[in-house]
Amino acid sequence: MRVVVVFYLLILVSVSLCPNHARASMSRAQIEKGEVMEHCKLNIRKGAHWPFDPSHACCQVVTHSLNLLAICNAFTAADLEQINLARWAAVTRSCGNELHQGDNCAGYIVHY
């Protein structure tokens, strides 16, 4: 009987951790890409007007990123339909943590 109770408690704990496990399984780049899509969307979306000043929240995401190329690689096909990679490169430069000339960001070669 005791073994059965422990077994069911283990199952309960395992199931209750599933939502947290989903986030834990996301890579840092995927998390940062989500933050970019949330906080920089007005600056990097297709059809946005020039000139622009990235928001403080957008620049915080960019400046705290450890690997901007990893974010580039995390962009999905659906993301790429919505955003302009040249604008993304310009935002990184404007925020002070830039993609470098010659970097390949999801197929876009950065040039300044």
- CA 97-102-106 angle, to 5 degrees, is 80
Per-residue pLDDT 10s for the chain (112 aa) are 654 333 444 443 443 444 444 445 579 999 999 999 999 999 999 988 777 789 999 999 999 999 999 999 999 999 999 999 999 999 999 999 999 999 999 999 999 7
Cβ distance 97 to 68 under 8 Å?
A: yes
User: What's the predicted TM-score (pTM) here?
Assistant: 0.75
Q: What is the CATH number of domain 27-109?
A: 1.10.110.10
Provide the pLDDT for residue 16.
47
Strand runs labelled E in 1-112 = 104-105, 108-109
Backbone angles phi, psi at 105, to 5 degrees: -105, 95
3-state SS assignment for residue 56: helix
Domains of the chain, residue spans: 27-109
